[in-house]
Structure 1
Amino acid sequence: MTLSIPAATYEQARGPHLRAMLAGLAEESEKLTWPLERLHHLRDERLRTLIRHAQRHSPWHSHRLRHIDLEALSGADLTAIPPMTKTDVMAHWDDIVTDRRLTLRGAREHLARVSAEGPAYLLDDYHVVTTGGSSGLVGLFPWDRDGWLAAALSSWRVFAWLARTMNLAQPGRTAFVAAAHASHVSEAMRRTFEPPGISCEIPVTLPLAEIVARLNAFRPDRIIAYPSMLRRLAFERRAGRLTVAPQVMLGGAEPLPPRMRADIEEAFDAPVVNFYATSETWTMACSPPGRTELHLAEDVAVYEPVDHDGNPVPPGRRAAKILVTNVINKVFPLIRYEIADEVTLLDGPNTEVWSGRRIAPVQGRHDDLFDYGDGVVVHPYIFWTPLWDARIAHYQVRQTPRGADVLVELRERLSLDTVRDELAAALRRAGLADPAVDVTAVDRIARAPMSGKIRSFVPLPRPAAGPARP
């Protein structure tokens, strides 16, 4: 049995996938404007197919889903199904997967080959991607071919819409300043579906001067990067070192606060499109160009904002986490899967062209909360104002038992004592007595090796919860 298609033949293997994506793109972009009821009808058809497949082929899910009446099933209410977590995923991986040939050990061996040799399909059919491990637990997630294609179309529909409505250059030149590792979902998607010759991949881990030089040489019409990197590029453009003039910037995988968005859009005189995506689901929401709210991709997943106890949270109130059911990937059913992002479903009628329900920009994760005991729990926003300074390029806040250690990359000279005092005052206002804060300037904050992201907030390790029983 062939375990994987090696990198040498990957280009030939991806050909049918690429042709199918290009063929379906024009029709796919219309889904942005489908009535919500039509999107939910397609979502529920996919949901019932997923649940039926999981009942028959996943030992772990078959027990959990044995009582589900498929005829009555709808994404409007999945509370009869217990949630699942990343801990469950990694503890029961071999029983969750619906292709019995797949094993966690085999997936890990496959990713090791991908790391060494480049992109490859596992068992001729599957992409395997990994999370960056921001919660402290790295996850591995296989995607089947149909799900991988549907996920690509759900994100590329936005490109097709932008091209039509913003009169963007076609086919256009796109620069990706992000992860360059084939096991990361964004890079794996790019390598599968990006037509040859129109894109430039620039690893985000390169020195800033080299990133700027490559962008100046390529002259992209679009830049796709983490928001923190787009902000640094905005500084470079203001300084005259970056001379490109993209028509649109696209950011994702990190929070995009309003001031960061304003910095980027003012420097480039072009709008930002904000994506909300994960390795487990790919694109879940996207903002129209220049708008802050994001519209959910309603046909690819069921979204359930909940509180810390798993109870539904109404629109207008920030949820502690979100339960997501990925309805397009049947090989690894993620059904009411817990993602720790604090999501706010917006209230009121949606009068925009894009018809998906709207969420506010995702600004943090409940996994990022700093719990100091005795009822003192500090949200990351406590640190935002003191650290939001144009002279600070990047920062990382590490919780300590009595406060925080902060690393900063500086663009210009700055009094670290002043930053330290402001952070200590913010922690005191949050209820922490006599906080100990240390601020250190470094040349470079280490990025995650797989995703290339900087984890801005690093809590102290918490006791691990045991896996849930199916």
Structure 2
Amino acid sequence: MTSTLALIRDGRRTLRQGPDALAHRQRERLAAMIDFARTHSPYYRELYRTLPERVEDPALLPVTRKQNLMARFDDWVTDPEVTIDRVRAFVADPRRAGERFLGRYLVTTTSGTTGHRGLFLLDDRAAAVVRALSLRAVRHTLTPVVTARLLAHRMRSAHIVATGGHLAAYTVIVRSRAAGRLSARGSRGLSVHSPLPELVDQLNLYRPVFLAGYATVIALLAGEQEAGGIGIAPTTMSLPAQGPNDRPHRKIRSAL
């Protein structure tokens, strides 16, 4: 099993070797993933049957859509023990959010607002890659001053997400707590469905130094901050799932 730290170190080594080494690593990993998919997934074996034996250019890959993947779920996944019926039975119980499916997969779902709910599984390596990429994305934000403040406040964080069920953000929080990467005392999961006054009261009481949530909700809270309803000063913010356009982004930056 590859650790997040090992992936970060490997990425740094590759970057130090220059653009050619980075491009080579990208081609090698893409070719390996396509070869794995062809070998273990009947769906991808069929989809890629006309492609060259070795593929290093993502532009050659045919487009896949969530609707098609869900319709061919049992043929799409690369583990024959994973079936759509077993996964649906697993996610039907919201109490199992963050629990390992078959002892080795983290299961997440999409909301289904497009008319097609997605079911996705991550093994330990995939989860480590996600964490490594997330840490790399915030490397310029976590300056020594910011890091010192976060540590001084024991990384006190609030995550405003759709709680309950197996939606990705909530499931990751639950799993991170179970794995010891998030402290139950040092983090709060707040429901995005809570009335705005209730969210304001909870944030004022908890006073997080790290705040994460959907951009639309954070923009509403920024308005409350400007009106004097919130008295928090987060050091760092994360806006998963939704990217703000220029206007909410400016509002959030100025208010919070």
Tell me the TM-score normalised to structure 2 length.
0.84
Specify the alignment match of 1:437 in structure 2: none
- Determine whether 1:86 maps to 2:66: yes
- Alpha-carbon distance, 1:208 to partner: 1.3
2:162 is aligned, of 171, 179, 186, to 179
Shift of 1:109: 0.5
Give ranges in structure 1 of 5+ residues lacking alignment: 1-15, 269-470
- Deviation of 1:118 after TM superposition, in Å, equals 3.5
- The alignment status of 1:63 with 2:46, answered yes or no, reads yes
Deviation at 1:69, TM superposition (A): 3.5
Instruction: Summarize the alignment of residues 44-443 of structure 1 with structure 2, pairs less than 5 Å apart.
Output: 44-71=27-54, 73-75=55-57, 77-79=58-60, 81-113=61-93, 115-164=94-143, 167-168=146-147, 169-171=149-151, 172-193=155-176, 194-196=181-183, 197-268=185-256
Distance in 1, Cα, partners of 2:217 & 2:11: 28
Q: How many Å separate the matches in 2 of 1:65 and 1:29?
A: 29
SS of 1:162's partner is coil
Relative to the length of structure 1, the TM-score reads 0.48
Secondary structure at the counterpart of residue 251 of structure 2: helix
Task: Report the Cα offset of residue 93 of structure 1.
Answer: 0.6
Classify 1:32/1:220 alpha carbon distance in 2 versus 1 (closer, same or farther; 3 Å).
farther
Q: CA deviation at 1:26?
A: 6.0
Aligned-partner SS, 1:167: helix
Deviations for 1:293-330, whole angstroms, at most 9, x for unmatched residues? xxxxxxxxxxxxxxxxxxxxxxxxxxxxxxxxxxxxxx
Partner letter of residue 82 of structure 1? P
Higher strand fraction (1 or 2): 1
CA RMSD in angstroms, aligned pairs only: 2.7
User: 5+ residue gaps in structure 2?
Assistant: none
- The aligned amino acid for 1:151 is V
Separation in 1, partners of 2:7, 2:200? 31
Q: Residues of 2 paired with 1:54 and 1:42: CA distance?
A: 18
* Partner AA of 1:237 in structure 2: Q
Q: Answer yes or no: is the 8 Å Cα contact 2:98–2:172 preserved in 1.
A: no
Q: Name the CA shift for 1:117/1:252 in 2 (closer, same or farther; >3 Å).
A: closer
Partner Cα separation in structure 1 for residue 75 and residue 116 of structure 2: 19
More helix by share: 2
Partner AA of 2:250 in structure 1: A
Taking the aligned partners of 1:59 and 1:137, their CA distance within structure 2 comes to 22
For residue 99 of structure 1, report the CA deviation from its aligned partner.
0.5
SS in 2 for 1:163: coil
Paired residues in the alignment total 246
